[in-house]
Structure 1
Amino acid sequence: MNVIEDEAGWDIEPCDEIEPLVQAVGRMLRVFREAAGMRVADLAEAMRHGEDMIRKIERGVRIPRPEFLDKADQLLNAQGHLRAFMEDMRRARYPKKLRELTQLEERAVELLFYSSHNINGLLQTPEYMRKLFGMRQPPLSEEVVERETAARMVRKEIFGREPAPMLSFVQEQVTPERPIGGRMVLRRQLEHLLEVSELRNVSLQIMPTDLEEHAGGSGRIQVLKFADGTAIGRSPGAFSGRPVEHPRDLRILELRYGMIRAQALTPGESRELIERLLGRL
């Protein structure tokens, strides 16, 4: 079983708790296909998918996309029985811990992120995400890469949330410099960073490499604050890397993050740096 650590810092493990439901949906698809007098090849052609994918869905070894169920319901005259599972399959495509992380981010009114190795997951373009997942060792299957990319894209809906949360990002200078995916992928990623940095509720800062003093030596920091005054935070260099909620522990993470922000370039200076990097491509 693949274990993936999300860029926000929480470990994510694809779970099999929804396997019976996926298998039930697969059996239902087969029943409606056969009732419609269609072979696997016929349904595959009508759906514009490969026969192998249809067989995997019917065997319950592949989670169907919601839009697949929507179209299949219409083609097979399932009268809403397949469409009824669209939301379940949407949730099933994402690991349980990632669903929990997304729920935390949906509740947060302020989010603080310091990233030292890669561009933070909430700031990544789909192409950048795929390249990162594709470089994991041992290699992930194409299906896992696509699933994790789709799951991370769902998290990006936070930028369109109302009321908008406050988001603060500090990125090590090496993260926008490292050519993940090559020149064109990096170009689009840098353009996206500039676009996001223009949002009124977003602060994006770069920590320069040549800084003599650096409060981020302990690695990534993530703090999510909620409307009721509670919060949760995590850093691999503190509290054995486990998530913490006690005010005393959170104060340590916030103190470190505050120092990092003070040492980093201002948002304006950071934009200028990203523009210079973009101009070199």
Structure 2
Amino acid sequence: MKHPVWFKDYAKLEADAVELSYYSNHTVPGLFQTEAHARALYAMRKPLLDEDLIEQRVAARLARQVVLTKRPVPMVNCVIEEAVLRRPIGERDVHEEQLVELIRLGRLRNVELQVMPLDHPEHAGLGGPFILLTPTRRPQVGYLEVQNISRLITDPEEVRVLASRYGCIRSQALTPRKSSALIERLLKDQ
């Protein structure tokens, strides 16, 4: 698929976005990961990555996180499956630090963090993770990344379907307040 002329790379598109919407059912989205969590994820990849490449990728991931606080700040919506929050990536302290970071990020005025609880067996997100990005003065696009394969979705009808699905996902997930309370309970249960 040929990308639009204005698309350079995902990080650039993300940095220019006025709104970011994430649905994640396998991992914590990269913008929300702590350094230790990101390192643990890259270290467990198969086939194995060499140490230098792991450090490069961790540094790149952390550098992208400025998006959350740059001015003007984008609106960021994120729905994470409860199973992701229960899966301890890295050592116990890494997992606890990640949960604390999610609570902190969920308190930012421009971030709405929601959890899709395990007791919702049927919901609109069962087709897998995706991202919606609304760049400045450009049409909204979708982005899929699975098994190191990425796809930018620019077809208006495909983007409309993803946006509609995301609306359903958000309505089926816990509210931001209830989501924060759930993450706090998970943290206490560690």
Identify whether the pair has TM-score above 0.5, normalized to the shorter chain.
Answer: yes
Give structure 1 regions of 4+ aligned residues with deviation exceeding 6 angstroms.
Answer: none
Distance of 2:170 and 2:51 partners within structure 1: 37
Distance of 1:129 and 1:178 partners within structure 2: 14
Higher relative contact order (CA 8 A, sep 6+): 2
User: Structure 2 length as normaliser, TM-score?
Assistant: 0.91
Gaps of 5+ in 2: 1-7
Q: Where in structure 2 are the equivalents of 1:1-281 lying within 5 Å?
A: 100-235=9-144, 242-281=151-190
The CA RMSD over aligned residues, in Å, is 1.7
Distance of 1:190 and 1:276 partners within structure 2: 10
Distance of 1:135 and 1:184 partners within structure 2: 17
> What letter is aligned with 1:214?
H
* Shift of residue 247, structure 1, vs aligned partner: 1.9
* Shift of residue 221, structure 1, vs aligned partner: 1.4
Asked if 1 retains the 8 angstrom alpha-carbon contact of 2:14 and 2:135, the reply is no
> What letter is aligned with 1:116?
N
Counting matched residue pairs gives 181
* Shift of residue 236, structure 1, vs aligned partner: 6.3
- Where 1:242 maps in the other structure, the secondary structure is strand
Q: Which one has the bigger helix percentage?
A: 1
- Where 1:114 maps in the other structure, the secondary structure is strand
> What letter is aligned with 2:41?
L
Q: Which one has the bigger strand percentage?
A: 2
User: Structure 1 length as normaliser, TM-score?
Assistant: 0.62
Identity %: 42
Asked if 2 retains the 8 angstrom alpha-carbon contact of 1:235 and 1:253, the reply is no
Gaps of 5+ in 1: 1-98
Asked if 2 retains the 8 angstrom alpha-carbon contact of 1:132 and 1:180, the reply is yes
Distance of 1:242 and 1:278 partners within structure 2: 34
Distance of 2:94 and 2:151 partners within structure 1: 33
